[in-house]
Amino acid sequence: MFRLLDKFAEEKNVSAPALYKALIFSLIENPADFNLREHYLWNFQYLFENQPTIPLNLLLEPLIKQITISENVTFFYKVFDFDFFTVVAKHPKLTSSNAVSLADLLGKVYLNDVTLSTAASVPLMLLSSRFN
């Protein structure tokens, strides 16, 4: 589905938004499945790097909301989450409102989790230097 979305985005196909939303929904509905989440986040990273016109906010808003709601219940951070956040922090289409939400999320991780604070600091510093 990600390869199809990549091709659709390249061709500006009218079905690309529906496919993108279906992939987002699938990711949001399965936050506790680490393998699925890793696969999706790596593929979204590839898409965002390969197709810079794909809007980030359609993914970031529900993802951040889902993480915030299910934090410490069904959502546990992994290193690949912070790799994804780093790619997002560098993306030229990242809006200031999404950057604030992401910085808030990363700041909480940085302050509350000693084991993940170093991983959270990389995208947090990118966001703070870019949106100072």
Give the chain's mean pLDDT: 90
At 52 the pLDDT is 87
Whether the per-residue pLDDT at 23 is higher than 80: the answer is yes
- Whether residue 96 is predicted with pLDDT greater than 70 in this model: the reply is yes
The residues pairing with 48 across neighbouring beta strands, listed in sequence order, are none
Looking at residue 115, what DSSP letter applies? Answer: T
Q: What's the pLDDT tens digit per position in 60-92?
A: 999 999 888 876 665 788 889 999 999 999 999
The ranges assigned to domains in the chain are 2-130
Question: Picking from 6-20, 21-35, 66-80, 106-120, which range would have the lowest pLDDT averaged per residue?
Answer: 66-80
pLDDT tens digits, one per residue of 113-125: 898 999 999 999 9
Task: State the DSSP string of 18-78.
Answer: HHHHHHHHHHHT-TT-HHHHHHHHHHHHHHHHH-TTS-SHHHHHHHHHHHHHHBTTTB---
Whether pTM exceeds 0.85: yes
How many angstroms separate the CA atoms of 38 and 53, rounded?
Answer: 22
Q: Quick one: average pLDDT of 93-113? A: 92
3-state secondary structure of 94: coil
